[in-house]
Amino acid sequence: MQLVLASTSPFRKTILEKLGLPFECVAPDTDEKPEPGETPEHLVERLAIAKAQAVSDKYENALIIGSDQVAVIDGKIIGKPGNFENAMKQLKEASGKRVTFLTGLSLINTKTGKIHSSVVPFNVVFRYLRDSQIENYLRKEKPYNCAGSFKSEGLGITLFERLEGDDPNTLMGLPLIRLVAMLEIEGMPAI
C-alpha cells in the first residue's frame, strides 16, 4: 500500500519523514476559500479531507494524507501573510496573546473508501513584542508563507512565552501523534 502526502509544503514533508516510511508528495488542486459562516474548525477539517480527495482518484491502493491549518486570534482566522506589511500586522496583533493553531488532518484509504479525520489544536502564547523586535524577526526569517507569520522551528521560537499542546509537530502543520494512530488503524504501523 502506498503512502501519499497531498501537499507541497516542505514543512509537512519534513515532519512526515520523521516516521521513516516511504511516501510521495502530490500537489492537491483545492479551493481553500472559507464557506460563508464556516467555523475555523470546520474549515480545516473540510480542507484536509478535500486535499486528500483531490489526489485519491490517482491511486487504487493507497493511504492519502491531507492537512490544513489556520491560526485563530480572538476568534478571527489569520492566514499566511504573504508580505512584510501583513506579517507585521499579524505579529503586532498576536503580541501578548494566546493564538490557537487548528490543524485539520485526514487519512483516506483509497481501496476501502474509509476516511479518518480530526482537528488538532495547539496554542502559542506570544510574549509582548516591541515593533523593533517584530521588524528584526521578519527581516531575518521572512515567514511570509506561514500561517501566523512565524516559523517555530527557527527563530520564531524567540517570539513565544510558552507553547501549549500535545504534539509540537501540530504547530508546523502535521499532527504526527494523531496520524500515527490513524495509520495503525489502517494497517500501516510506523514501528
Q: Which cell numbers hold the place of 131?
A: 515593533
Which tens digits make up the pLDDT trace of 17-66? 999 999 999 999 999 888 999 999 999 999 999 999 999 999 999 999 99
pLDDT of residue 36: 92
Task: Give the whole-number percent of the chain exceeding pLDDT 90.
Answer: 85
Question: Is residue 145 pLDDT above 90, yes or no?
Answer: no
How far, in Å, CA of 175 to CA of 184, rounded? 15
How far, in Å, CA of 133 to CA of 121, rounded? 27
Phi and psi of 103, rounded to 5°?
Answer: -115, 120
For 79-86, what is the mean pLDDT?
A: 92
From residue 3, alpha-carbon distances to 94, 166, 172 in Å are: 36, 24, 20
pLDDT of residue 153: 81
Catalytic residue among 57, 68, 74, 166: 68
| Counts of helices then strands in the chain (DSSP H, E) | 6, 7
Which tens digits make up the pLDDT trace of 4-22? 999 998 889 999 999 999 9
CATH code at 2-185: 3.90.950.10
Question: Is residue 2 pLDDT above 90, yes or no?
Answer: yes
For 118-123, what is the mean pLDDT?
A: 96
Q: Where are the domains of the chain?
A: 2-185
Check if 74 is active-site.
Answer: no
Please indicate, yes or no, whether the overall pTM of this predicted structure exceeds 0.95: no
